[in-house]
Amino acid sequence: MPSPRSTARDLAQIAVFAALIAALGLPGTLYLGGNAVPITLQSLGPMLAGAMLGARKGGLAVLTFIALTTCGLPLLAGFRGGPGAVFAAPTSGYLWGWLLGAIVVGTLTKRLLPRYPLWLGILATAVGGVLCVYLIGIPWQAIRTETPLWTAIAGSGIYLPGDAIKVVVTALTAKQVHRAYPGLLAAPRRRQLPGGPDAGARATADGAQTQHRAER
């Protein structure tokens, strides 16, 4: 069972990364080629959340951001917010793709630790932070804009250079952070009985021997 201290730390980390995602939307949006989905820095946030915090806390950070946006806070790039921006806009699929992406990036990143080879980190971040986001975002964009799917896929090519930079930045940051804090994604330690990790087993064995002698 997690201690109150670890729970408070987890909540603080989730809040910090939810705020980071919101802050990355402040520079605004850039629309290119008449595309309904803008280029923003904000998609970097879910990648970092997953790579730094893991699947559970990274996913919760993105979910917290989505919940606050749904309540009407203008946290999306371009100061957009409200249920319409979360559920009905052409960009809504990418928003939910961030949630899946953070979970996938966090899951794959944990498998790479403690060494975290950089090229594998880049690959893991690309799979979660780009591929998974596109798998949800592009079909939803095609539906909402009544555009053929292949046209939406082709139009999404303008995002790839920026997303590639975000992937590399995330992997480089994750490598340095996990090198400095190797236990950041480690499972919480179980409380040990006095006498070391084998104390519980010894106590069980002693109890069994005592019961056996009593039965004799």
Q: Over 60: is that where the pLDDT of 160 sits?
A: yes
**Predicted local confidence at residue 1, as pLDDT:** 55
Confidence of residue 191 (pLDDT cuts 50, 70, 90): very low
Confidence of residue 201 (pLDDT cuts 50, 70, 90): very low
Q: How far apart are CA 43 and CA 47, in angstroms?
A: 7
**Predicted local confidence at residue 184, as pLDDT:** 85
Confidence of residue 52 (pLDDT cuts 50, 70, 90): very high
Most distant CA atoms of the chain, gap in Å: 87
Q: How far apart are CA 141 and CA 153, in angstroms?
A: 10
Confidence of residue 115 (pLDDT cuts 50, 70, 90): very high
Q: How far apart are CA 103 and CA 10, in angstroms?
A: 16
**Predicted local confidence at residue 35, as pLDDT:** 80
Neighbour-count burial of 168, counting CB atoms closer than 10 A to its CB (0-12 exposed, 13-18 middle, 19+ buried)? middle
Q: Over 80: is that where the pLDDT of 82 sits?
A: yes
- DSSP SS3 for 76: strand
Confidence of residue 185 (pLDDT cuts 50, 70, 90): confident
**Predicted local confidence at residue 202, as pLDDT:** 52
Q: Over 70: is that where the pLDDT of 197 sits?
A: no
- DSSP SS3 for 30: strand
Q: Which tens digits make up the pLDDT trace of 63-77?
A: 999 999 999 999 999
Q: Over 50: is that where the pLDDT of 190 sits?
A: no
If you average pLDDT over residues 101-116, what whole number do you get?
96
Average pLDDT over all residues of the chain? 88
**Predicted local confidence at residue 214, as pLDDT:** 46
